[in-house]
Structure 1
Amino acid sequence: MPHAPCPMPHTQDKLLKLNLHLENYFLLLKTQLKAFCFKLNIR
């Protein structure tokens, strides 16, 4: 029975994945921002 009404683990899994995705996104944003500031400082 794969479609048993059990929303909690599924929702938790989704939230975990979303959290991971957001963390990766912010990490990317931070590195890009650092690179940008670095470029600005060089000029």
Structure 2
Amino acid sequence: MLDHTALLALGAGYPALSGFVVDAAEGRAAVHVPALCPTAA
């Protein structure tokens, strides 16, 4: 599960998180983001 700090790191271009989201988009991983985390980020 990603919290707001992880989403902020992702937005800053953190390579490991960016790769994880790419894997999720291609069906190789699952991403769970609590509903309020994008708002906090």
Q: Does TM, scored on the shorter chain, surpass 0.5?
A: no
Q: Calculate the TM-score normalised by the size of structure 2.
A: 0.34
Q: Calculate the TM-score normalised by the size of structure 1.
A: 0.33
Higher RCO (C-alpha 8 Å, min separation 6): 2
